[in-house]
Copies of this chain bind each other. A is one copy, B any other.
C-alpha cells in the first residue's frame, strides 16, 4: 500500500524545489542527482530521458528515494522513499513542458537534445519523512 504525502508538505511540490533523487547503480551503490518533480496526489513524478544513468538504474531496480528542501527554508524538508511503479513515454513531452513552466517559467522545455526520448517515472511513496 502506498502512503500519502502529508498535506502540510504538499506545498513543496508547488514551489521551485528540486528533488534530489537517489537510485541504485548496478553494484548496488547509491547515485544522487537533482530532478524536476511534481505530485499528482498519489504519485511523486519526475521526468528524465531514456538511456541516462538514472533511467537504466530504475529499470534494473525501481527502489528510489527523493529529498525536497523548501526554497524558503532549507531546514524544512521532505524525504519520500518508495518504488517507481510506472515508467511511461506517454504524456512525457507534455509533462516536461509543464515542469519547464513550473521551474523556468517557459512553456516549452528548452534543453531538449536531438533524438531525446522523454520518460515519466511515477514513485509510489512507501515511507515519508519530514523535518521542520
Contact = CB atoms under 8 A, between A and B. Distances in A.
Contacts of A125: none
Copies of this chain, tallied across the complex = 2
Interface in A43-94: 63-67, 69, 74, 77, 79, 81
Given A22-B22, A67-B20, A31 B81 contact: yes
Given A18-B74, A20-B20, A69-B18, A31 B79 contact: yes
A62 to B, nearest CB: 10
Contacts of A18: 69, 74
Contacts of A69: 18, 34
Contacts of A31: 22, 65, 79, 81
